[in-house]
């Protein structure tokens, strides 16, 4: 990647970056004239070239958030710089995690009324407009995450450089909280990268990495970490004009093409959310089209969105996610660096592939190479699609080692068993591998329904057995249930939670019980949907009703995806002795098992269900299907499978995709009850 740096600057950068902590420029640190300064959250220094280096380091936290005090201090720093303008200003972060995580969500959640909402928006809008208008050139030096208000801060600068590292990620994720980017992002991002790319980022919350940011023009360049300081100094003093979108993407920011782009965006929104459960995407399009992204010009819309039930519930979902992440940060837990997976089927192979993607050494065992080969083929394709960079994809693939003899068992910190769901088969495997486990190694099962008490009955050290239950497809499903066995004093579960967090998943601690949480609540939901088929409703009609409700996939398609044989077995285990639906029994008897056999309730082609046209759903169908799910979630909570209602909601949302706008099944039930009593 050519950063247009002079050779002597590049060499100097290598030396200073090696000697200075990340985010601290040695030349800036060593020369601090009197007009530098420090506040609680910012440090301002000037270097010998006349460049000001403004470092954000929010006190008392691992990440930077743009709270009211942080923004007030930034305003005071700009006052000082206005008094003695530098040749250029570089804004960066001292946090290893990244540039900035955005606004303080607690301030947003505490808003009380339209006046406070407008003040919060105005605070960032006015300050970033001021930054964008300063006389001297400005540059945001970005590493790690640069999200929401953090990206809006970077967009207010003339230039942006991003660290060419895998963890660099830029996004405007406000839509995922049911709100919109209010501090200038809806205006500056389309001007910079064009309407299509900007609308995609704003309407999905999708993150872009360093490579994509540079390709879009969101970043002026992606730069190796060791060269960031020198590249920033060179760029901010270069005198280059500010980047702007060009060609058709730029024309789509202007009338009459702007109206066309807005119309197309609204159509996509309506296709994905026909019931309008999520009002923020449509508001973003309206604000971009009619108000140049300035929510202060649309006070009624601003108040409606920020005060909506959807926004409150999505903030709740965000906090539930953060709580799950906290379970993955277990202080003092011995790290897992080598994982051995037994069973190279769809689940085992995909678990192994994911662990290798996340940097772990993985050995994958099955009876012979012929059984392992398909998993390696899937992994290779997955890495190529996910990582784009051939060297990174090759490195991930090299970490995934086929091991038909099981030599990795003796060296692994964690052995994950993902074989057939049969008690005797799993016990036989445990008898073979337990004597070979190294001291302190964990033995985990990916069982979805079998009791850990039964599985560990013959183990010499049953306290090391833990359930680590992934969901299919592994790469897409964020939740992993971590099941505490009866002999575990909590140490094995805690260490397993730390492992799950380390591989980028959300650990949900659960107690050993049939179906744990997620499968236990899914079973009655899926079975009720199939009983509707027995009554004559078309699968397409049922699925359409539930996707309109807000589910990511209808229950019939989900059953086909999971496998109808598995759905039948789980139903018998979890349905309390009720007779399985006739339509399910008939298809299993015919060998029509869903996607894996090519036919179930639907015919499957190239991994997609071939559906007919959906009919009109009878009134109350969504309520009928979700009632059993909510009731079972309540039962699992009462039985102590999870420790509280919030964790039950978190598990169902992130394990099944249950409509996030509701805030979760138990929360939604409480909210409905409150409304009926008003």
CB of 434 closer than 8 Å to CB of 462: no
Exactly one of 145, 234, 340, 469 is catalytic; name it: 469
Is residue 469 among the annotated active site residues?
yes
CB of 118 closer than 8 Å to CB of 63: no
**E strand intervals along 313-378:** 338-342, 361-365
Distances (CA, A) of 585 to 275, 522, 576: 34, 18, 17
CB of 501 closer than 8 Å to CB of 475: no
Contacts (Cβ under 8 Å, ≥6 apart) of 33:
46
Neighbours of 375 (CB within 10 A): 25
CB of 147 closer than 8 Å to CB of 100: yes
Distance between CA atoms of residues 274 and 399, nearest Å: 44
Is residue 557 among the annotated active site residues?
no
User: Is residue 400 helix, strand or coil?
Assistant: strand
End-to-end CA distance of the chain: 62
Exactly one of 234, 448, 540, 667 is catalytic; name it: 448
DSSP line for 65-106: -B-HHHHHHHHHHHHHHHHS--SEEEEEE--TTEEE--B-HH
Exactly one of 481, 540, 557, 669 is catalytic; name it: 481
Is residue 171 among the annotated active site residues?
no
- The DSSP call for residue 35 is T
User: Is residue 642 helix, strand or coil?
Assistant: coil
CB of 183 closer than 8 Å to CB of 154: no
Distance between CA atoms of residues 486 and 245, nearest Å: 60
Is residue 519 among the annotated active site residues?
yes
Distance between CA atoms of residues 219 and 200, nearest Å: 17
Find residue 42's DSSP bridge partners.
Answer: 56
Exactly one of 308, 417, 519, 557 is catalytic; name it: 519
What are the φ/ψ torsions at residue 466 (nearest 5 degrees)? -145, 150
- Which residues are catalytic, by number? 448, 469, 481, 519
């Amino acid at each position: 990647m050519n950063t247009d740096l002079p050779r002597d600057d590049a060499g100097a950068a290598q030396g200073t970056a090696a000697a200075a902590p990340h985010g601290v420029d040695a030349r800036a640190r060593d020369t601090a004239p009197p007009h530098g300064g420090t506040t609680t959250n910012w440090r301002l220094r000037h270097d010998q070239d006349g460049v000001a280096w403004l470092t954000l380091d929010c006190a008392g936290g691992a990440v930077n958030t743009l709270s009211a005090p942080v923004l007030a201090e930034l305003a005071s720093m700009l006052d000082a710089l206005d008094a003695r303008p530098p040749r250029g200003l570089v804004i960066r972060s001292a946090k290893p995690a990244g540039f900035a995580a955005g606004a303080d969500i607690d301030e947003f959640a505490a808003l009380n009324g339209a006046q406070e909402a407008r003040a919060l928006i105005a605070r960032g809008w006015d300050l970033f407009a001021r930054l964008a208008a300063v006389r001297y050139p400005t540059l945001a030096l970005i590493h790690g995450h640069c999200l929401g208000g953090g990206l809006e801060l970077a967009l207010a600068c003339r230039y942006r450089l991003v660290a060419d590292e895998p963890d660099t990620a830029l996004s405007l994720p406000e839509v995922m909280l049911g709100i919109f980017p209010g501090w200038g992002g809806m205006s500056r991002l389309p001007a910079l990268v064009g309407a299509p790319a900007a609308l995609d980022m704003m309407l999905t919350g999708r993150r872009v990495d360093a490579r994509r940011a540079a390709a879009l023009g969101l970043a002026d360049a992606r730069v190796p970490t060791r060269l960031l300081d020198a590249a920033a100094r060179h760029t901010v003093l270069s005198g280059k004009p500010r980047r702007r979108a060009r060609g058709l993407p730029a024309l789509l920011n202007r009338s009459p093409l702007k109206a066309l782009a807005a119309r197309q965006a609204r159509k996509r929104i309506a296709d994905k959310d026909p019931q309008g459960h999520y009002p923020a995407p449509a508001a973003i399009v309206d604000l971009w089209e009619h108000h140049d992204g300035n929510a202060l010009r649309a006070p009624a819309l601003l108040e409606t969105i920020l005060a909506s039930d959807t926004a409150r519930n999505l903030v709740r979902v965000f906090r539930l996610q953060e709580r799950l992440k906290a379970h993955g940060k277990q202080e003092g837990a011995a790290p897992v660096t080598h994982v051995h997976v037994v069973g190279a089927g769809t689940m085992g192979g995909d678990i192994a592939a994911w662990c290798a993607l996340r940097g772990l050494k993985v050995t994958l065992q099955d009876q012979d190479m012929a059984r392992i080969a398909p998993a390696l083929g899937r992994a290779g394709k997955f890495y190529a699609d996910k990582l784009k960079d051939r060297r990174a994809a090759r490195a991930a693939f090299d970490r995934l080692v086929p091991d038909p003899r099981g030599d990795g068992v003796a060296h692994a910190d964690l052995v994950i068993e993902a074989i057939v769901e049969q008690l005797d088969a799993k016990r036989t495997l445990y008898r073979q591998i337990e004597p070979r486990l190294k001291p302190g190694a964990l033995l985990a099962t990916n069982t979805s329904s079998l009791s850990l008490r039964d599985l560990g009955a013959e183990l010499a050290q049953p306290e090391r057995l833990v359930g680590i239950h992934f969901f299919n497809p592994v790469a897409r499903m964020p939740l992993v249930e971590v099941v505490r066995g009866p002999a575990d004093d909590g140490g094995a579960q805690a260490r397993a939670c730390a492992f799950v967090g380390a591989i980028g998943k959300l650990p949900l601690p659960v107690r050993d019980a049939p179906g744990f949480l997620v499968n236990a609540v899914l079973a009655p939901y899926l079975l009720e949907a199939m009983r509707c088929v027995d009554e004559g409703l078309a699968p397409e009609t049922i699925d359409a009703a539930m996707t309109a409700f807000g589910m990511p996939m209808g229950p019939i398609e989900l059953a086909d995806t999971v496998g109808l044989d598995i759905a039948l077995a789980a139903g018998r285990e979890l349905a309390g002795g009720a007779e399985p639906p006739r339509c399910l029994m008939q298809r299993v008897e015919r060998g029509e098992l869903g996607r894996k056999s090519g036919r179930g309730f639907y015919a499957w082609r190239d991994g997609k269900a071939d559906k007919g046209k959906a009919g009109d759903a009878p009134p109350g169908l969504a309520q009928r299907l979700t009632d059993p799910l909510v009731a079972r979630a309540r039962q699992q909570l009462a039985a102590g499978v999870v420790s509280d209602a919030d964790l039950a909601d978190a598990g169902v949302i992130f394990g099944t995709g249950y409509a996030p706008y509701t805030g979760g099944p138990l929360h939604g039930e409480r909210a409905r009850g409150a409304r009926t009593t008003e």
